[in-house]
Amino acid sequence: MLLATRKTLTICLAVLISLLTACSTMHPVASDAAGDSIRREIKPGDTVRVVTKGGASHSLQVLVVGATSLVGSAVRTWERSADAVGLRVDVPYSDITKLDVRRKSGLKTAGLVGAAVLVVVGIATGGGSHSVGYNR
């Protein structure tokens, strides 16, 4: 009985930890050839997805938000990319047709974590009442 409870709690804890990173979404950023809106919205350390006029797609962790270009290090995502992880990529603002930035949603994360905690507590406490003669 104790072993089954520990196993269940371990599984629930693993799910809970995975939920902590699950609530991030990509938000579009307006792009202009001068890069004014990009410089306002994007900061070093942000993770972005850039599509260029030539159709190339880059997923980058931003290193520098420069005067004329966005410089980043290629990161691995679920999407296929021709860029090797860690490759330094320099994309001129005038070449960007689409730009999305990954933002975390604290409210969604807190809601999912709260729900997961309630599930874990429910499982750990036996999940409710049982009729007489019920054997676990």
The Cα 117–Cα 123 span in angstroms is 10
| Residues 61 and 118 grouped into a single domain | no
Q: How far apart are CA 23 and CA 2, in angstroms?
A: 33
Residue 111 tokens, joined: 């809601």
Q: Which residue shows structure tokens 């001129």?
A: 92
Residues lower than pLDDT 50 in the chain = 1-2
What range does the domain containing 44 cover?
A: 24-103
29 and 13 both lie in a single domain:
no
Residue 48 lies in a domain: yes
Distance between CA 86 and CA 7 in Å, rounded? 38
Say whether both 12 and 46 belong to one domain. Answer: no
- pLDDT tens-digit map of 87-111: 999 999 999 999 999 887 656 555 6
Residue 96, helix vs strand vs coil? strand
Residue 62 counted as domain residue: yes
Structurally, how many domains does the chain consist of? 2
- Same structural domain, 84 and 57: yes
Which two tokens mark 119?
Answer: 């599930």
CB 114, CB 21: distance < 8 Å = no
> What pTM value is reported for the model?
0.60
